[in-house]
Amino acid sequence: MTKKTTLSDRLWYLFLAAALVLPFIPGGIGNSFHGHVLTMVLLYAAMAQAWNIISGYCGQTSFGHAVFFGIGAYGAAMAVVQFNTLPWYGAPVGAVVAAVTSVLISAPCFKLKGHYFAIATFAIVEIFSRLFMIWDWVGGAIGLDYPILDDGWRNFSWSSDKNGYYLGALALFTLIFGVVRWIESHRMGYYFRAVREGQETAESLGVHSTAVKLSAMALSAGLTALCGAFFAQYNYRVDPPMVMSLDISMKFLLITILGGLGTFWGPLLGAAVLIPLQEYTRAYLSHLGSGVDLIIFGIIIILTMIKQPMGIMGIIRGVTRRTSTVPAKEGDA
Amino acid sequence: MSMVSRKRTLFVALCVLCTVLFAGSAFAEEKIIKIGTLFPLTGPSAVSGQNCLNSVLAAAEVINNANPDLNIPLAEKAGLLDGYKVVIVKADHQGKPDVAKSEAERLYNQEGVFAIIGSYNSSATKPASAVAERAKKLFLCGASSSAALTERDFKYFFRHAPTDAIESKEFTDYIEYLNKEKNAGIKTIGLFYENTEFGKHAADEGKKAAKEIGLEVVADVPFNNAATNLSSEVQTLKAANPDVVFGAALGADYSLWVRTMKQVNWLPKMAVNYCTGYQNPAVQKELAGDGDYFMGGMSFSPELAQKFMPEAIKVQEKYYRPLANQEFDSDSLQEGVMLLILAQAIEKAGGLDTEKVREILATETFVSPLSLSGEVAFEPGGQNVKALSVITQMKDLKYNTIYPTKYQDSEPMYPMAPWDKR
Amino acid sequence: MDNFLQVLLDGVLNGLVYALVAAGLSLIWGVMDVINFAHGEFLMVGMYVSYWLGFILKIDPLFSWVAAGLFLFILGAVTYKIIIRNSLGKSGMAPLLATFGLSMVLKNFCMNRFTPNFRLLSGTILEGKTLSFGGAIISVPQLVTALFALVVLSLLYWMLKKTRLGWAIQATAMDKEAAELMGIKTENIFLLVFGIGGACVGITGGLMTSYLAVYPEVGGLFSLIAFVVVALGGFGSIPGALLAALLIGLVESFSGFYIAAVVKYVAVFAVYLAVILLRPRGLFGW
């Protein structure tokens, strides 16, 4: 156990160091398209990890995270567009609102089982996005468009290069992955796993499963909202189909599950494969005719689910299990 | 294992692909001008997006080839300046604002395009043109109709189409004309629009214009686009029974709307549409006679073109139809026009200096045989002040022009013939 | 009062259409506990089959639904063989995500092949036909689809309850291992169920072409409503799906007319949530 933790530790710090150095190397991020792709990889990895807290570690598959993502995006955008102030005020407000909303929604929904829970979270996304479409205070269907802001951390807005956004995404990534590392190595992780194994098991171990699930959901929603705020800042615009659609919810699932559900590295691996694939196929394969990029994307999803539903982590585990002599390890790490 | 190797192959393939593309841009330095296009080539508005792209491609053919048969500036000689060719780099924003933003960045920074033409959906045009403005690059817009786009005081943004504010004003002018000249007695109005960025903008402007001439808004019916049915929407309209309806429904929703009104056997006295399913000839063909008597704002129709812009018909037959397999429509045509205008500005500037070209775009008046008014000039903020649209009325699959009177080729049929008398 | 009757009838008719859309999904979900995320795209494919038959061979949707049903039976069976069978039981979400991938492939394949254009058949037998009923107007194409809904649902119900095949399906749904021990080839049952589920939605799509335009994105909202209908009715219950679909149709049409058209789906999803929280396994769930 301890040996394994240090390996994971070493990988973690190595990754952070490499990621931190990148923008300071010429051609590392700058204004390039791969700079955009890397920023998105970090952002989506962070989003997926936030989702992983409730769905992977706690076993409650949520299709509703687009709502929290959207609330976060609206938090930042409302601060900038409607209140003419800094996104730094909007983002935490969005996170708190998202966390509270998530608790209010989840408290009754947690008693639903399996696909019933999934469909209920679907419906919640539809309700929220359709309400935001007609809510004039938040811009309704027209959405909120950012004015042209000065570059810099104050406005969290850059146009000449992407280093700022990249570092911002890296900070989010570090925060969320750090939280999960902390959870994994503390008592909380044990509670989560107990809950995932089933309510009865958890209660018999003296874990108050509803409280654990709700706090995991609140944490997950709040962190997701921060990612949403970043997304709004990055795109200078927010409207409901853009930040609150089922498409967004599906992204959380696809990335995490492709990488490996309920694992620490899964969300990063999933994002590192899916996001470049999505961006580069769209950018460079569109001459094959419309939709070819999305067809390839779909085929890869199907293949993954057929061949290795445990995702990339499943493949890696398979390889290491075959090559190493380490006896059977614990399921999650 | 096979999965790993497959992934690796894919990764290598992608790397090779990128290298090839970058290399391609490296040794293609000579004599080309790259222009980016950014349209929804997939997703819900892909029909229009693909038409827009084809129109720009057709315009590029006009510029690149020697076309002595076309009476369009720059058509006669092959290429621009001293033999530069226009190369179109296309990108797809899928109807998503975030994709539009990152693709605009890629086009400018990675592909090195001189300017972008796009993006059809106003919601995508907004963030994409904000990228351009910040990077001090040109962004040319053909068809996005949201008035807000040219109210941002952007310096590098130019738009050809009349805004929904201009169109609304024209609709109400027409209503006043009918009331005065034809004793139409139009007092109440209903609005029927998709609850999206486009529909909401159009309806807001419509309401504003209607208030100015003292019409009473008796029905305000936004609907969810890509509808499964429009029963309650049409029932609401029917119950309020407005004299005139302003409509903003795209493609499939438009035909469903018309058919549902037929089903409940109701029509207003007059129905006028913003740039929508109404002006799509393919949709009209499928609606057959049911689409008759509806009206809409347009800046192109085959009938108008015959009379006022014969060159558009020539371009359509020579270059557009082979690509798109159909006729121009208002939206698509205007995107191509923007490329022709840009080419003129580049030619006048004598080179690829963004500031110089911008200056010329902002100050000069351009001859534009493919625009209804025949010329194009931009005011501060980027709106084309010569933008013109006319009101047409559908009859027997023909768009008859009925207003303004200057362009009129047939008398308006008012009120619409009820369903049982057709 | 006129309005009320019209709104009521619209609600019932739309509800029955939803029931027909949801029938196949309900069967698959009930027997296999799989959400077929490509359900909306199956509907779209069915519509294209019927559209092209109508456009090229001039076969009316009133007849071409047979072909659409057959085609979708095959598509469903192939989907099972290639995708579902290989992802089933590996992890809870695998079949759902695999069919999500399939939905992307189908939608974009049609986009690529048939262009994103809206296609509407004109001059069909039922086009524009209406009946008048106590001051309200009924659209005949929708009425026919609604009648089909009743027939198809009754047949499904009858098959499940009264035939040997139906008993085998039910046995498989309840306990796969036990069914296998009893000599039921569960593999074939699953294949058949997926095929029948596909056929149901194919028939729906085939009929709908007589009044709705076809385009690659047409399935979106329909599939969402179908999910809600099935979950509301309760896991694999055919009468439940019928009742739920009627409820959804009525909520949609009444809220659309008496509150505002733009909130009708908010009302639909909110009612669904309210009911499901009171009855966590749906109206007829076990």
Model pLDDT, residue B14: 56
A283/B91 Cβ within 8 A? yes
The 10s digit of each residue's pLDDT in B21-55 is 544 444 445 789 999 999 998 877 888 898 999 99
Model pLDDT, residue B403: 86
Tokens 């107990």 belong to: A194
Can you tell me the mean pLDDT for B283-302?
87
* Contact status, residue B149 vs residue B351, Cβ threshold 8 Å: no
Phi and psi torsions of A155, nearest 5°: -90, -5
Task: Give the C window 83-112 contacts with A, CB below 8 Å.
Answer: 83, 86-87, 90-98, 100-105, 107-109, 111-112
Model pLDDT, residue A52: 94
Candidates C31, C41, C81, C96: best to mutate against A (most CBs of A within 10 A) is C96
B1 band by pLDDT with thresholds 50, 70 and 90: very low
Candidates B9, B22, B94, B151: best to mutate against A (most CBs of A within 10 A) is B94
pLDDT of B17 > 70? The answer is no
* Partner-chain residue, chosen from A133, A294, A315, that has the shortest CB–CB distance to B42: A294
- What is each CA distance from B326 to A282, B177, B279, B314, B393, in whole angstroms? 27, 34, 13, 13, 20
Model pLDDT, residue B272: 93
The 10s digit of each residue's pLDDT in B88-110 is 999 999 889 999 999 999 999 98
**Nearest chain C Cα to B229, which residue?**
C14
Q: How close B51 gets to chain C, by Cα (Å)?
A: 10
Give the Cα separation of B171 and B288 in Å (integer). Answer: 25
Model pLDDT, residue A234: 94
> Is B415 within a domain?
yes
Give the Cα separation of B237 and B218 in Å (integer). Answer: 9
Could you tell me what percent of chain A has a pLDDT over 90? 49
Model pLDDT, residue B8: 57
> Is C247 within a domain?
no
Residue numbers of the domain that contains B320: 30-161+305-377
A126/C265 Cβ within 8 A? yes
Task: Say what the pTM is.
Answer: 0.90
Q: How close A324 gets to chain B, by Cα (Å)?
A: 16
Count the domains in chain B: 2
> Is B5 within a domain?
no
Tell me what ipTM this predicted complex has: 0.89
**Nearest chain A Cα to C90, which residue?**
A309
B110/A286 Cβ within 8 A? no
B325 Cβ under 8 Å from any chain C Cβ: no
The amino acid present at C44, given as its one-letter code, is M
Residues of C in contact with B228 (CB under 8 A): 14, 17-18, 221-222, 225
Least confident of A130-134, B114-118, B210-214, B325-329: B325-329
The tokens describing A15, both together, are: 């990754």
Count of positions (residues) in chain A: 333
> Is B8 within a domain?
no
Angle at A299 between CA A297 and CA A303, to 5 degrees: 120
Model pLDDT, residue C286: 53
**Closest listed residue to residue A285, CA positions, set A298, A299, A295, A275:** A295
> Is B18 within a domain?
no
> Is B372 within a domain?
yes
Model pLDDT, residue A332: 41
Q: Do B198 and B322 belong to one domain? A: no
* Average pLDDT along chain C, 286 residues, taken 10 residues at a time: 84 93 89 89 95 92 92 95 84 83 93 83 82 84 91 92 88 85 86 93 92 88 92 86 94 91 91 90 75
* Contact status, residue B240 vs residue B259, Cβ threshold 8 Å: no
pLDDT of A74 > 50? The answer is yes
Alpha helices by DSSP H, listed for chain C, are 2-32, 39-56, 61-79, 85-87, 94-114, 140-162, 164-174, 176-181, 186-208, 219-233, 238-258, 264-278
Chains meeting B at 3+ CB pairs closer than 8 A? A, C
Model pLDDT, residue C253: 92
Phi-psi label, residue B71: left if phi above 0, alpha if psi -120 to 50, beta otherwise:
beta
B61 Cβ under 8 Å from any chain A Cβ: no
> Is C271 within a domain?
no
Q: Where are the beta strands (DSSP E) in A99-219?
A: 144-145
Kindly give, in sequence order, each residue whose CB lies less than 8 Å from that of residue A290, ignoring residues fewer than 6 positions away. B41, B42, B46, B50, B92, C108, C111, C112, C116
Can you tell me the mean pLDDT for A195-208?
80
| The dihedral formed by the CA atoms of A78, A81, A86 and A89, expressed in degrees to the nearest 10 | -10
* Contact status, residue B91 vs residue B36, Cβ threshold 8 Å: yes
The tokens describing B52, both together, are: 């827009």
Q: How close B266 gets to chain C, by Cα (Å)?
A: 11
Q: How close B249 gets to chain C, by Cα (Å)?
A: 13
Residues of B in contact with C255 (CB under 8 A): 232
Q: How close B226 gets to chain A, by Cα (Å)?
A: 13
Task: Give the B window 42-61 contacts with C, CB below 8 Å.
Answer: 42-44, 46-47, 50
Model pLDDT, residue B77: 87
Integer-rounded Cα Rg, in Å, for chain A is 20
C255 Cβ under 8 Å from any chain A Cβ: no
> Is B14 within a domain?
no
N-term to C-term CA, chain B: 68
C29/A115 Cβ within 8 A? yes
Q: Do B154 and B195 belong to one domain? A: no
The tokens describing B273, both together, are: 């549409």
**Closest listed residue to residue B91, CA positions, set B81, B82, B101, B83:** B101
Give the Cα separation of B101 and A162 in Å (integer). Answer: 13
Kindly give, in sequence order, each residue whose CB lies less than 8 Å from that of residue A199, ignoring residues fewer than 6 positions away. A209
C117 Cβ under 8 Å from any chain A Cβ: no
A328 band by pLDDT with thresholds 50, 70 and 90: very low
* Partner-chain residue, chosen from B98, B106, B134, that has the shortest CB–CB distance to A148: B134
Model pLDDT, residue B27: 47
Chains meeting C at 3+ CB pairs closer than 8 A? A, B
Residues of A in contact with B42 (CB under 8 A): 290-291, 294
Model pLDDT, residue A23: 85
> Does the N-terminal peptide bond of residue B55 adopt cis geometry, omega within 30 degrees of 0?
no
Give the Cα separation of C36 and C77 in Å (integer). Answer: 13
Candidates B88, B107, B146, B195: best to mutate against A (most CBs of A within 10 A) is B195
Residues of A in contact with B9 (CB under 8 A): none
Can you tell me the mean pLDDT for B333-350?
93
**Closest listed residue to residue C32, CA positions, set C88, C100, C91:** C88
Alpha helices by DSSP H, listed for B182-301, are 197-212, 231-240, 251-263, 281-287
* Contact status, residue B86 vs residue B343, Cβ threshold 8 Å: yes
> Is C255 within a domain?
no
A123/C265 Cβ within 8 A? no
Least confident of A75-84, A202-211, C42-51: A202-211
- What is each CA distance from B192 to B120, B202, C118, in whole angstroms? 21, 10, 20
Average pLDDT value over all residues in chain B: 88
A142/B197 Cβ within 8 A? yes
> Does the N-terminal peptide bond of residue B404 adopt cis geometry, omega within 30 degrees of 0?
yes
Q: Do B41 and B98 belong to one domain? A: yes
* Partner-chain residue, chosen from B195, B265, B288, that has the shortest CB–CB distance to C122: B288
Model pLDDT, residue B265: 87
Q: 3-state DSSP call for residue B167?
A: helix
Q: How close C254 gets to chain B, by Cα (Å)?
A: 8
DSSP string, B254-284: HHHHHHHHHHTT---SEEEE-SSGGG-HHHH
Model pLDDT, residue A266: 92
C121/B283 Cβ within 8 A? no
**Closest listed residue to residue C227, CA positions, set C241, C207, C246, C247:** C241
Secondary structure letter of residue B45 according to DSSP: T
The tokens describing A61, both together, are: 């598959």
B130/A143 Cβ within 8 A? no
Q: Do B225 and B286 belong to one domain? A: yes
A126 Cβ under 8 Å from any chain B Cβ: no
> Is C161 within a domain?
yes
Chains meeting A at 3+ CB pairs closer than 8 A? B, C
Q: How close C279 gets to chain A, by Cα (Å)?
A: 9
Q: How close B124 gets to chain C, by Cα (Å)?
A: 19
Count the domains in chain C: 1
The amino acid present at B311, given as its one-letter code, is E
Q: How close A212 gets to chain C, by Cα (Å)?
A: 21
Candidates B50, B192, B229: best to mutate against C (most CBs of C within 10 A) is B229
**Nearest chain B Cα to C254, which residue?**
B232
Task: Give the B window 157-176 contacts with A, CB below 8 Å.
Answer: none
Model pLDDT, residue A1: 43
Residues of C in contact with B288 (CB under 8 A): 122-123
The amino acid present at A135, given as its one-letter code, is W
Q: How close C97 gets to chain B, by Cα (Å)?
A: 18
> Is B24 within a domain?
no
B195/A134 Cβ within 8 A? yes
Q: Do B177 and B195 belong to one domain? A: yes
The 10s digit of each residue's pLDDT in C97-114 is 899 999 999 999 998 888
Residue numbers of the domain that contains C205: 20-218
Q: Do B94 and B131 belong to one domain? A: yes
> Is C273 within a domain?
no
The 10s digit of each residue's pLDDT in B220-260 is 999 988 788 888 899 999 999 999 999 999 878 898 899 89
> Is B288 within a domain?
yes
Q: B259: domain CATH number?
A: 3.40.50.2300
Model pLDDT, residue B363: 93
Model pLDDT, residue B23: 47
Q: Do B279 and B412 belong to one domain? A: yes
A322 Cβ under 8 Å from any chain B Cβ: no
Q: How close C53 gets to chain B, by Cα (Å)?
A: 16
B264 band by pLDDT with thresholds 50, 70 and 90: confident
B273 band by pLDDT with thresholds 50, 70 and 90: very high
> Is C285 within a domain?
no
Task: Give the C window 46-85 contacts with A, CB below 8 Å.
Answer: 82-83
Candidates A62, A67, A199, A305: best to mutate against C (most CBs of C within 10 A) is A305
Q: Do B152 and B172 belong to one domain? A: no
A321 Cβ under 8 Å from any chain B Cβ: no
